[in-house]
Amino acid sequence: MYRNYDGARSVFGNTSVSATVPNPDNVSAFAALGRAMSLTVMVIGKYLSGSTPATLKLAHFTAGTAAHVWQLTSSNAIQHLPDLPISNGTITAQLPQQSITLFVIPGSPRSCDLNTDGSVNVADAQISVNQALGILACTTADLQQMDTATFVDVQRIANAALGRSCVIGP
């Protein structure tokens, strides 16, 4: 679940962040930020029977509109589940008995500086092109907030690299 959970070599984040649960004997949680403005949260359901409701409350993180979900159950196969909506910084899910659920939460874009190096330049334009082409997962270049990167987003980042303002939103 930490490495290649999606078959595309995606990994759990590389910068640990706080994750707390009310009763760690029954449910454990681990969280990390990824390089591409995403938050990964691993939740382990330890109950031996029945499902457990889980509510993830995201603090100090500007999330996108939906969380991508992968789950490992007693079937011993990782399954990609339907995305879950994020409403007011909250995700609600049901955890099956003895399961591991990975939530990948894309961050909402904050600027045209996609690689967060402090400037908007050709490196950011290349990231946006790769995300628009699907070479990289779309995690930062969706400036239009359409749940995908398009060449309109690429053009906005190129314009920002040329000194114009960064346009975010529809």
**Per-residue model confidence (pLDDT) at position 35:** 59
Which of 62, 83, 106 is where one domain is finished?
106
Co-location of 19 and 88 in the same domain: yes
H or E element at residue 106:
strand 99-106
* CATH code of residue 55: 2.60.40.1180
Of the two residues 35 and 18, the one the predictor is more confident about is 18
| pTM for the structure as a whole | 0.65
Mean pLDDT of the chain: 88
- Which residues, at least 6 apart from 111, have a Cβ–Cβ distance to it below 8 Å? 120, 166, 168
Give tens-digit pLDDT for 100-152: 999 999 876 557 888 877 788 999 999 999 989 988 877 778 888 777 889 99
102 and 48 part of one domain: yes
Q: What is the pLDDT of residue 109?
A: 52
CA angle 78, 95, 4 (to 5 degrees): 25
Same structural domain for residues 46 and 94?
A: yes
